[in-house]
Amino acid sequence: MDIARTPSTPDGNPELADAARTPQEPPTIRREDYQPFPWTVPEVSLDFDLGLEATRIVSTLKVARNPAAEASPTIRLNGDGLEVVSVAIDGEPSNGWTMDGDDLLLTLPGEAHEIRIVTEIDPSANTQLMGLYASDGMLCTQCEAQGFRRITFFPDRPDVLSTYRVKMHGDAETFPVLLCNGNLESTGKDEDGTHWAEWHDPWPKPSYLFALVAGQLVANTDSFTTMNGREVTLNIYVRDGDLDRTGHAMESLKKSMRWDEETFGREYDLDLFNIVAVSDFNMGAMENKGLNVFNTKYVLADEDTATDGDFDGVEGVIAHEYFHNWSGNRITCRDWFQLSLKEGFTVLRDQLFSQDMGSAPVKRIEDVRVLRGAQFPEDSGPLAHPIRPDSYREISNFYTATVYNKGAEVIRMMRTMCGEERFRKGTDLYFDRHDGEAATCEDFVRAIEEGAGLDLEQFRRWYSQAGTPKITVRLEHAGNTATLHLSQDVPATPGQPEKQPMPIPLKLALFDRESKSHRGEELIVLDSQEASFTFEGFAQPPVLSINRGFSAPVVIERDIAQDDLVFLAAHDDDPFARYEALQDLIVSHLKQSVNGDLADAERDSARTAIAAAIRAVLQDDALDDLMRGELLVLPSETYLAETMAVADPGRIHEERQALRAAIGATLKDDFSALHKRASAVPYSLQPEARGARKVKTQALMFLAAGDPELGRAMAWAQYEAADNMTDRQGALMVLTGVDGIERTNALLDFYNRYKGNALVVDKWFALQAGSMHPNTIEHVKALAEHPDFTMKNPNRVRSLFMAFAYNPHAFHAADGEGYRLVADVILALDPINPQTAARFVPQLGKWRRMEPKRSAMMKEQLERIASAPALSRDTYEQVSRSLG
């Protein structure tokens, strides 16, 4: 439903204007209503008496009137489910306070005051995992975006920056390790036998960056010397028994610290950098100043329990959270509408880091695949929003692929137009100018503009307009001239029916067919609705390679001959463009097949051409196996659906599997030879060995489709011989999709081998939920009754039900049972963990793009969820926007 514009409240916080609404009908918060908070809070002191079932917090706030804000005698301190034990102002007990909903209101007559508030909470009852909560005998926090208000009353908004001094008291046996932000200043024992630790963070930060961890932990300790010679102690804290799986995380941290110094000139600024691995966590990780809290999934890794993808994930997430120290912590967001200021920029930084640590072309393809699989559907559906939204109801719903991944692509485009050197000048100016501030996206763009000497006035539209631009491409040739005609269209999205042209940087090259070479790559910028570009000196029509390196996050629509796609798939020297040509060749064929546009002879001809292109990939000695593995990945069913005006998931699955089977049968000998060659490469984390493992799994998938008996036998043999998780999981993934004793034996062996390891058991659940087996829905229902399954652990919920929801083959079952199952999960999970529940809704929200029967069944389930009483704000917003 549409909600009327919400006026600002006297304290300048628009989110408070409709406190009387029910949880199902949350207020709309608008960016245009932003006003500075009337009070500053320069210093915060917190004293925690820790307990799993009862924690007492004494909060002391030094506050002063904010000269940059409209004066107000009232200070509003946000709370969420808190009860006041006592309040004192300037050392005197006070009864002159009131509650407005969950918030505490105080009247302060002077210019500066000291407020002391005592609260008590029960961490063990906090199933939302926001604020301070208990996790398997440990206490930890998650405060982004609005979790700090579940700990104590505070102006819980990102533009209120404070220095924090924290003292923690706890039972020495239950909580032998006491961690907080900043530097450890002192420790000691209390008279009652408990112990304490006092921490001080000298850098002003918003409350969302506060962190506390207390529990039975052991540490992998190392050190790092910064570029200016300061020694920093590094600790990675984990449960006893997990220490031997933290080595890769520690090396990733040290690489990140060095890379950020060398690439962006950013040096770490505390004496300590601590990471803690937590098993109950809604997110991947959190960049709290000096004390990063991580999901165990992104810390623990060794060859027996982690795949190559897991190793990459650990490295990338460690880097991402560390890079936030500057792009997010030292410079934070003025308000939550600016979330992409820190997240988009930091995603780009971690992508560039990962490119430098491994294969840059492969990393680029992986990032584009994520963008197309998650963000493009978001941009074309009911939840579409700009990377800097104009309004929201529940901020946790805006931690989206648009804010993160598209936000990174937008900044990458700036970097492409500036060049690396000028982009660095812009980021240096940004860091210098806004250090210690709560900034905006406009502040960032202006710094790049001034530092790089680039006019970005029109480019700002990328921040305000939703939707994925579609670029129509037509190449003409006459005489010695090639003329490229381009036009752009930004589709209408909710609330934005009309769009303005955006600057779109496109890297291109024109290939000579005979020499199979080009004169050099060029960068053009399409900044109008239509434009033409001419290129001289082409006696014969050239072959166009466009959007090389995926220089812009757009959809390219071109009328290109199949022979030209085959040419580019075989000869393009830009790895991404070569990958794209092969993908386009396959997508074009599958779209025609799904739509019934091909006669049998035409289908056979197209499959022959695709198999020939893939054979060229298999036989190209200039390719390394990491890149070869990427080129062998078929377009996903989700991406194929996104390319169609109306999608029929059943037909897409049928035609994609038929194509895989045809390629596997045609190239059976080639894939068998590839698998044999790759199997001879011994295990290591070096690129050659990683590439070998990658192509082994791809070969198995084609062989299992083309010759099921052979594929099943080879997969079982690979499973039995595996000496690492990548090979073992790759084989099990193939076996879960087929019937036979090998499937049963492999699943039993895998579970029994790893049943004490939660992260690997998550894989066991996910592999079955994501399988191509015809009975996947029944398997998922049975797994939901497994003794190891629980709805209270987000990792376990995601491993089973999110893997299922993102499995188009099973989720889109023709009878609608997949939709009912996911709706049941949302309704069961919402009272326990609304953040996690809400993340399932977008899969049902794609109902408008589906063929009529499935569309009606998906909408029916959304309406069933919407009719449930007392939905959380998180889920209500997602469902109401999805229904429109």
In whole angstroms, what is the distance from residue 463 CA to residue 441 CA? 8
Place 26 in a pLDDT band, splitting at 50, 70 and 90: confident
Within-domain flag for 597? no
Cα gap 412→349, rounded to integer Å: 10
Contacts of 46 (CB under 8 A, 6+ apart): 57, 58, 59, 60, 152, 164, 165, 166, 167
Measure CA 63 to chain center.
Answer: 36
Instruction: Please give the C-alpha separations between residue 445 and each of 208, 263, 380, 457, 785, in angstroms, as whole numbers.
Output: 24, 19, 26, 9, 51
Over range 65-92, report the average pLDDT: 97
CATH number at residue 205: 2.60.40.1730
The verdict on residue 501 lying in a domain is yes
Q: Would 180 be classed as within a structural domain? A: yes
In sequence order, which residues have a C-beta less than 8 Å from that of residue 597 and are 6 or more positions away?
none
Sheet containing strand 138-142, edge to edge, reads 131-135, 138-142, 212-215, 177-180
Backbone angles phi, psi at 740, to 5 degrees: 140, 165
Q: In this structure, are residues 48 and 57 in contact, taking their beta carbons and an 8 Å threshold?
A: yes
Same domain, 69 and 161: yes
Give the strand pairing for 162-170 and 138-142: unpaired
Do 199 and 232 meet the contact criterion of CB atoms below 8 Å apart?
no
Q: CATH code at 486? A: 2.60.40.1840
Tell me how many domains the chain contains. 4
122 & 268 share domain:
yes
Within this chain, do residues 488 and 345 fall inside the same structural domain, yes or no?
A: no
Q: What is the pLDDT of residue 191?
A: 84
- Looking at residue 78, what DSSP letter applies? B
Range of the domain at 81: 42-323
Which residue type, as a one-letter code, is found at position 488? Answer: Q
Q: For the chain, what percentages of helix, strand and coil (3-state, to nearest 5) are there?
A: 45, 20, 35
Whether 399 has a pLDDT exceeding 50, the answer reads yes
Cβ contact 444:450 at 8 Å:
no
Residue 71 has pLDDT above 60, yes or no: yes
Residue 121, CA distances (Å) to 78, 85, 539, 655, 687 in order:
15, 11, 78, 55, 50
Compute, in degrees rounded to 10, the torsion defined by CA atoms 27, 30, 36, 42. 60
Strands (E), 423-503: 438-439, 470-478, 481-489
Q: Tell whether the model's pLDDT for residue 22 goes beyond 70.
A: no
686 pLDDT exceeds 60? yes
Alpha carbon distance 743, 736 (integer Å): 6
C-alpha–C-alpha distance, residues 468 and 378, integer Å: 10
Last residue of a domain, one of 559, 589, 610: 559
Residue 884 belongs to a domain: no
Structure tokens at 485: 């005609």
Which helix (DSSP H) or strand (DSSP E) does residue 608 occupy? Answer: helix 600-619
Residues 165 and 276 in one domain: yes
| Range of weakest confidence among 13-27, 278-292, 630-644, 669-683 | 13-27
Q: What is the average pLDDT across 286-296?
A: 98
pLDDT digits (tens, 9 = 90+) for 456-474: 999 999 999 999 999 999 9
Q: What percent of the chain has pLDDT over 90?
A: 96
Region of 454 on the Ramachandran plot (φ > 0 left; ψ -120 to 50 alpha; else beta): beta
Question: Is residue 169 pLDDT above 70, yes or no?
Answer: yes
Residues 121 and 261 in one domain: yes
Residue 24: its pLDDT value, please?
Answer: 54
Question: Are 405 and 342 members of one domain?
Answer: yes
Confidence of residue 20 (pLDDT cuts 50, 70, 90): very low
Span 623-646, average pLDDT: 96
DSSP state of 6: P
Determine, yes or no, domain membership for 823.
no
User: What residues are labeled active site?
Assistant: 321
Joined tokens for residue 463: 């921040």
Q: Calculate the CA dihedral of residues 279, 283, 288, 293 and round it to 10 degrees.
A: 10
Predicted local confidence at residue 5, as pLDDT: 21
- Residues 416 and 507 grouped into a single domain: no
Stretch 684-689: mean pLDDT, rounded?
98
CATH of the domain at 348: 1.10.390.10
The confidence score (pLDDT) of residue 7 equals 29
Residue 137's closest CA among 80, 82, 176? 176
pLDDT of residue 193: 82
No. of helices (H) and no. of strands (E), the chain: 31, 32
Q: Environment class of residue 124 by beta-carbon count within 10 Å: exposed (0-12), middle (13-18) or buried (19+)?
A: middle
Does residue 16 carry a pLDDT above 70?
no
d(CA 198, CA 165): 7
Angle formed at CA 708 by CA 703 and CA 711, multiple of 5 degrees? 45
Side chain identity at residue 53, one-letter code: E
Tell whether 397 and 416 lie within a shared domain.
Answer: yes
Residue whose tokens read 């029994």: 752
- CA 334 vs CA 34, 206, 395: distances in Å: 9, 10, 14
Question: How confident is the model over 426-443, as a mean pLDDT?
Answer: 98
Residue 823 · residue 864 · CB < 8 Å = yes
Residue 122 shares a structural domain with residue 142 = yes
- pLDDT tens for 207-261 read 999 999 999 999 999 999 999 999 999 999 999 999 999 999 999 999 999 999 9
Q: For residue 773, is pLDDT > 50? A: yes
Q: How confident is the model at residue 78 (pLDDT cuts 50, 70, 90)?
A: very high
Q: Across the beta sheet with 530-536, what order do the strands follow?
A: 530-536, 481-489, 470-478, 555-558
CA 715 to chain centre: 31
Do residues 275 and 340 both lie within one domain? no
Residue 637 lies in a domain: no
Give the chain's length.
884
| End residue of a domain, out of 539, 559, 579 | 559
Prediction pTM value: 0.96
**Which residues are registered as beta bridge partners of 558?**
473
Mean pLDDT, rounded, of the chain: 95
pLDDT tens digits for 605-621? 999 999 999 999 999 99
**Range 33-47 average pLDDT:** 98
In the predicted model, what is the mean pLDDT of residues 365-394? Answer: 96
Q: Is residue 586 part of a domain?
A: no
Provide the pairing of β-strand 481-489 with 438-439. unpaired
Averaged pLDDT, 519-546: 98
Instruction: For tokens 């034990």, name the residue.
Output: 85
**Of 806, 807, 822, 809, the residue nearest 857 (C-alpha):** 822
Radius of gyration of the chain (CA): 28
Q: Domain ends where: 499, 532, 559?
A: 559
pLDDT one-digit tens code per residue, 171-212: 999 999 999 999 999 999 988 889 999 999 999 999 999 999
Whether residue 712 is predicted with pLDDT greater than 50 in this model: the reply is yes
Instruction: Dig out the tokens for 466 from the structure.
Output: 């939703």
> What is the dihedral sign for C-alpha 601, 602, 605, 611?
negative
Strands (E) located in 176-258: 177-180, 183-189, 195-205, 212-215, 218-225, 231-238
Whether residue 226 is found in the same domain as residue 97: yes
Q: Are residues 26 and 92 both part of a single domain?
A: no
Q: Do the Cβ atoms of 135 and 282 come closer than 8 Å?
A: no
Please report whether residue 638 resides in a domain.
Answer: no
Which residue in this structure is represented by tokens 């208000």?
149
Helix (H) / strand (E) element for 274: namely: strand 272-278
